[in-house]
Structure 1
Amino acid sequence: MFGIYLKRELGRRKKAALVIALGLALGIALVITVNSVSAGMTQAQDKVLKSLYGLGTDMTVTKARTAPTSGSSGGPNFKFDAKSSSSSTQSSDRVQTQGGQALKSSLVTKVAGQKGVESAVGALSLNVTKVDGSFTQGKAKSSTSSSGSSGQGGPGGGSSSSGGAPQVQGGGANFNVNSYSVVGVDVAHQGLGPLSTMKVTSGKTFTTAQTGSKVAVVSKSYAKEKKYKVGSTFKISGTKFTVIGIATPDSSESDTDVFVPLKVAQTLGDAKNQVTTIYVKATDSKQISTVKKEITANISGTTVTTSADLASTVSGSLSTASSLATSVGKWLSIAVLAAAFLVAALLTSSAVSRRVREFGTLKALGWPSRNVTRQVVGESIVNGLIGGALGIALGVGAAYAVTAISPKLTAQLGNTGGGGVGGGPGGGPGRQASQNTLEIALSAPVSLTTIALAVGLAVTGGLIAGAMGGWRASRMRPADALRSVS
């Protein structure tokens, strides 16, 4: 009886039911969209941090670089023979450590032995500045000048001429400057550290037997720029390297151009038994702050940077959009949802007022107040479920539209005091700005939790509207129906 009556009454009031359902649907759709975009912001920020740290890395240990001593510029120094002929091309590489002051390799073992540390691995960040080109010698030419003409001249008449001093014409220098980053990785522990953010898409990665081999894995963007392929060779400071693999970053762009074995990098940078960054993985991700305090207390002079530290430095459009999604967006969705609930309640109450004769007659026939209330609440819950279904469809559609469009957001990361980006491998001269700015494609994933939240909101909206309408209907008396008869 209840189901038949419910179906018949909803069929009679299709327009009113649709208006209530649409109101709830808009509020629920907005909540789904905001929650999905907010989840996408979190994923984007995780990608930014993982592009710096690598999968599984919880923190890095670095040491701030000291200020240059008096009389030392701290910059690259190149010396060339200016008397060389134009046919002689000159080239010079300057290899410098970067990303912070060098640490002893023995500290890696010490960090790995701290309480709460599962594993630790060292890496050496280098910047290579290559200058090549040639000088062109100028040529000395004498110049003459004459004035006056035949029969005419200055005082005394006649003509005069004088020879000018020789002048050097032509000559100069034409040099190209190329700066790129090189990171030495521990080939025995590639799952932790800078190379863990890369996926080798062509060739292969290092083997444990290549500790001292002159081989390299280059990033896809750098390989494209230099037209490198697997098997190509290039030189760093006179040392010939063979490309064995080309790697693509898991997210955003790679901050490193060339990866080489750690021992080889230490030789290139004249940094024997030294590293610039120690990558650390904690045994428990919930105890990262405790592990940070442990390392800081036991290894003095170092800077420990966690993902939370880096997250606080993220700025740019990613940070702005995240703030809007988490604050303005959520408050807006709450306001719209509250308005939708209120409108649904008012419309339901108004519909009850127009059904005085119906409910009064039912009571006169013996219906108790609870049956009338149940009827109104039942209709409202069905309207809420219909609105929930429409809202889920609209919200999921909007989320997928955001994912399909994939708007680009920029993430700028400040320096946390370790040199480079977050104390990790950073850029050298001419690369710092590009390294600190990453571009992330925004997505809006819809989770089952969000769908469950939408269903709960739909039922809640129906209950609120039904409660108000049912309360009004339960107060009606059979006499009300008689007074409404004309």
Structure 2
Amino acid sequence: MFGIYLKRELGRRKKAALVIALGLALGIALVITVNSVSAGMTQAQGKVLKSLYGLGTDMTVTKARSAPTSNSSQGPNFKFDAKSSSKTSQSSDRVMTQGGQVLKSSLVAKVSAQKGVANAVGALSLNVTKVDGSFTQGKAQSSSGSGSSSGTGGQQGQGQAPGGGSSTGQPQVQGGGANFNVNSYSVAGVDVTNLALGPLSTMEVTSGKTFTSSQTNSKVAVVGKSYAKTKKYKVGSTFKVSGTKFTVIGIATPSSSESTTDVYLPLKQAQSLGDAKNEVTTIYVKASDSQQISAVKKQIQANISGTTVTTSADLASTVSGSLSTASNLASSVGKWLSIAVLAAAFLVAALLTSSAVSRRVREFGTLKALGWPSRKVTRQVVGESIVNGLLGGVLGIALGLAAAYTVTMISPTLTAQLGNSGGGGMGGGPGGGPGQQSAANTLQIALTAPVSATTIALAVGLAVTGGLIAGAMGGWRASRMRPADALRSVS
């Protein structure tokens, strides 16, 4: 009886049912769209952080660089041997550690021993500046009353010049100069016994091979694809750093986004080049439980003084640009807008249902006169409202999926700018060094809007809730009607 009456009544009031369903559908569709875009923002931010952290990295341990002393020189300097030839080629490499101050390699084991740490590995970030070119000596020339004469570098005094005339001026050096090329690139010293954690973990070797655990002190290198293309390196090519020859065994491509690291070397070789024996600049840490990262951070900071621990949450706060703006918009403005629209949709549905009940005075009064109890009348109204809500939910899910699909198809590009997180920061590679590379690292991320099963379940729940709210208001009003009201409305 309930189903038959429900079907007949909804069929009689198709327009009213459709208006209520559409109102709920718009609110539900907006909720789905906002949740999907927010999920897309989270994924985009995850890509940004993964490119800096390294796969499986939860935090890094560094040491902030101390302020330079008044007598220290922070700028690069190059010293060349003076040679007497008129044109001399010169070349020099300057290797510097990047990021914060160096840490003792023994701290890696100490970090690994902390409660909640699953694994830890050290890495050394270097920057190599290579200067090569040539000097050309100038020639000293002096003028005289009757002519001029030139020498090769000595000064002519006032008096008799070789040409017979008297010298009237000081010698002047003319010509000569220098022509030098400056090439700066980044180097990461990696622990070849644990490549799953650290700078190289974000790279995929697409040509050649990666390091083996036996190459802890071998003169071999893995080169980033972009740098290899610039220098025309391929597997088997060789290059020198401070006189040490390295052989390229692999070309690596970033697995998530552009890497700022150019060359990867075994850690011991990098330490030798940087004059940093048994030292690292960054310790990459993997926590045993991803839900306890904050606790692990506090544990490390408490037990290892003088270090800076940076987690994904810390690094996320440094992400700016259109990605950050869109994320804030989706998470704050979007959610509040969804709540406002849903509240309005629920209110409109309740008012329309209550209004429809007012127009059915004769109907409900007659049903009560025939013996229907108030609870049965209320159940009838609530049942109709729930059906309207479910219909609105179906329409809302369809609209929400269409909107999410449209966002994914358009894939608007967002810019993520990574600022310094302080204390050395973190990084998947040392291109500019942890904490320094991030200041100038800008990534382009394509936005998607994935729809999860949780979001669909939320939409269904909202649809039922909307129907219940509307039905509750309408049912309450219907239950208060008396059979006498129906008799008074009969003309």
Q: TM-score, normalised by structure 2?
A: 0.86
Q: How big is the shift at 1:56?
A: 2.2
Identify unmatched segments of 5+ residues in structure 1: 146-162
Match of 1:69 in 2: 69
- CA distance in 2 between counterparts of 1:433 and 1:82 reads 40
2:291 is aligned with 1:279: no
2:309 is aligned with 1:309: no
Other structure's SS at 1:202 match: strand
Cα-to-partner distance string for 1:344-395 (whole Å, 9 max, x where unaligned): 1111122222223333333333333223222221111111111111111211
Corresponding residue to 2:267 among 242, 246, 262:
262
Greater alpha carbon shift after TM alignment, 358-367 vs 199-208: 358-367
Cα-to-partner distance string for 1:427-471 (whole Å, 9 max, x where unaligned): 169x74664433333222211111111100000001111111122
Cα-to-partner distance string for 1:393-444 (whole Å, 9 max, x where unaligned): 2112222222233333333333344325469735169x74664433333222
Alignment of 1:40-439 (within 5 A): 40-80=40-80, 89-135=89-135, 171-419=176-424, 421=426, 425=430, 427=432, 432=437, 435-439=440-444
Q: How big is the shift at 1:135?
A: 4.0
Judge conservation of contact 2:199–2:427 (CA < 8 Å) in 1: no
- CA distance in 1 between counterparts of 2:187 and 2:181 reads 19
Judge conservation of contact 2:21–2:391 (CA < 8 Å) in 1: yes
Alignment size in residue pairs = 471
Greater alpha carbon shift after TM alignment, 197-206 vs 327-336: 197-206
2:457 is aligned with 1:452: yes
- CA distance in 1 between counterparts of 2:137 and 2:113 reads 61
Identify unmatched segments of 5+ residues in structure 2: 146-167
Cα-to-partner distance string for 1:201-234 (whole Å, 9 max, x where unaligned): 3332111122222222222333333343333333
- CA distance in 2 between counterparts of 1:249 and 1:422 reads 13
- CA distance in 2 between counterparts of 1:52 and 1:218 reads 18
Greater alpha carbon shift after TM alignment, 334-343 vs 135-144: 135-144
Q: How big is the shift at 1:478?
A: 3.1
- CA distance in 1 between counterparts of 2:269 and 2:232 reads 23
Q: Residues 138, 370 of structure 1: CA spacing in aligned structure 2 closer, same or farther, 3 A cutoff?
A: same
Greater alpha carbon shift after TM alignment, 200-209 vs 310-319: 310-319
- CA distance in 2 between counterparts of 1:90 and 1:84 reads 13
- CA distance in 1 between counterparts of 2:288 and 2:236 reads 39
- CA distance in 1 between counterparts of 2:12 and 2:401 reads 30
Identity %: 87
Other structure's SS at 2:214 match: helix
- CA distance in 1 between counterparts of 2:293 and 2:469 reads 44
CA-atom RMSD, angstroms? 3.1
Cα-to-partner distance string for 1:95-128 (whole Å, 9 max, x where unaligned): 1111211122122122222333222111000011
Match of 2:446 in 1: 441
Q: TM-score, normalised by structure 1?
A: 0.87
- CA distance in 1 between counterparts of 2:88 and 2:14 reads 89
- CA distance in 2 between counterparts of 1:134 and 1:483 reads 111
Corresponding residue to 2:484 among 462, 466, 479:
479
Corresponding residue to 1:467 among 465, 472, 477:
472
Greater alpha carbon shift after TM alignment, 459-468 vs 241-250: 241-250
- The aligned amino acid for 2:290 is S
- CA distance in 2 between counterparts of 1:123 and 1:330 reads 42
- CA distance in 2 between counterparts of 1:351 and 1:461 reads 16
Other structure's SS at 2:375 match: helix
